[in-house]
Each structure stands twice: as structure tokens, then as C-alpha cells.
Amino acid sequence: MGMTKILVINPNTNPKNTAVIAKAIEPYKPDGVEVDTVSPDKGPVGLESYYHNYLASVNVHNRIVQAEKEGYDGIVIACYGDPGIEGAKELVDIPVVGITEASYALARMLSTKFLVVVSAATAVPRQIRYIKSLGIPDFQYDVRPIGLTVLGVMSDRMSAKDLIANNCEIALKETGSELIVMGCSGFSGLRADLEKQLNIPIIDPVVAGVQVCNTLIQMGLAQSKVSTYKTPPVFDIK
């Protein structure tokens, strides 16, 4: 077979964010795998609510169906919280991986408790709800915000880095966490610096997403089509 091809979709339409993601993946691209990073043509420039997630998901879903036709072997949804993930898994037979679920899958093997650091405080309950829907018990995680919106993070990544470092230093002591998951695709690429500063393993979710997606492809696995992710019946759409 030809080269393995993975499509990374940044659900927001902010090209700066897409570039940050692509750059963070670069040094961790699996050998012999082509990774393309795109965003949908349409949709909100930032995702900071459930409402935005729904808006973006519809466009992500269309892009995913197209990607399978284009011959991609796997899809990564690269926004923290994995917007639209269940619908995406229904629509194609190739594996679809959310960067958040991939990060947690790895984090739980590497620590008893991991710390998710997110952007704004309002992101905290959204992330907690997603974590609970994945069935992760309370003792295995904590979530802390740095107090910036995603757009704020994108416009000044160096301030974001300092805020992450400061907040994590306090949170690690208070919570006994042993590993950090960077809970915002806007943080991507800051891992090396932060790891040096905090002396603790850090997961960059976009890297986790690509690596886990490739693992599934190499194993010949994808989401089960038996029930939850069965291909949707075709309905008239007004």
C-alpha cells in the first residue's frame, strides 16, 4: 500500500491556530506518514462554547466525509474537547480520533492523577463534563484554567506560556498531579519549554491525536460500526 495519510482538522477557521497545530505536530510526525492540517472553509473563527462546537461540527463532518473519499487513512479532530467527535466516528470507516480522548488514554497510563490546564475559567465545566462522559473517575484528574480566552492565547502565546507555568506550579502542589495535559490547541508547541521549566511530563494533545490515530491505522482498527458509530441512515434533509 502507499504512504499512510492522516488529515488533522482544526475545527475553528483561524489560520493562525491551524499553523500552530501543524508546527507542533511536525517534530512528532510518525515515520512514513503524511500529515495534512486543515480547517473547514466555513464556521466560527474561535470555539469557546457548546454553541460554537455545534456550528463547527457540521462543517467538520462534511470535511471528514470528503477526506475519506480523498483517500486519507485516518482523521484527527484538533480542538480541545473533541467537538463533533461521535458524529464524525459515525460518518466514515477510517479511524477518527479526538485529541482530548487520545491524550487522556495516554495520560492514565503514565500517572495516577493528571492535570488539565485550560484557557478560560468557563472552559472548566465543559471539560469536566466531557471527562465524565468518557468515564474517567474523579481521583484521576484535575482541571485548572489560566484565565485567558482562546483568542487571547493565540494573540500572545508567550504570556500564555508564563500563565501556564505559574498556574501549573501552584496546581501541581495543591492536587498531587503527576503529568500535565495542555487543554487547548492554542497551547500546542509550548511543551518543550514548559517541560523544562516544570520538570514533569507534558502531553501536547495534537501530537497525541496524530500518534494514536496512526497506531489505530497500523493495527487495522477503527471505531466499531456495530452500534454506537453505525453509519447513519440517509434521511431527507430540508
- Give SS3 for 173: helix
The C-alpha cell 502565546 sits at 157
Q: What are phi and psi of 114, to 5 degrees?
A: -115, 160
Cβ-based nearer residue to a copy of itself, 34 or 86: 86
Positions 151 through 170 that interact with a copy of itself (CB under 8 A): none
> Residues 16, 34, 38, 58: which binds a copy of itself (CB under 8 A)?
58
Closest approach of a copy of itself to the CB of residue 236, in Å: 4
Does residue 2 interact with a copy of itself by CB under 8 A? no
Does residue 3 interact with a copy of itself by CB under 8 A? no
Does residue 61 interact with a copy of itself by CB under 8 A? yes
Cell of 23: 508546527
Closest approach of a copy of itself to the CB of residue 208, in Å: 7
Q: Tell me, residue by residue from 103 to 142, as one string, x for binding to a copy of itself by CB under 8 A and - for no binding.
A: --xx-xxxxxx-------xx-xxx-xx--xxxxxxxxx--
What are the angstrom distances between the C-alpha of 140 and each of 128, 132, 145, 200? Answer: 12, 11, 17, 16
d(C-alpha 25, C-alpha 44), whole Å? 23
d(C-alpha 41, C-alpha 18), whole Å? 12
d(C-alpha 189, C-alpha 148), whole Å? 17
Q: Tell me, residue by residue from 32 to 51, as one string, x for binding to a copy of itself by CB under 8 A and - for no binding.
A: x--------xxxxxx-xxxx
d(C-alpha 46, C-alpha 105), whole Å? 26
d(C-alpha 41, C-alpha 33), whole Å? 25
> Residues 1, 2, 31, 69: which binds a copy of itself (CB under 8 A)?
31
Positions 66 through 105 that interact with a copy of itself (CB under 8 A): 84, 86-87, 89-91, 95, 97, 101-102, 105
Binding range to a copy of itself, per CB under 8 A, among 18-26, 158-166, 181-189, 210-218 = 210-218
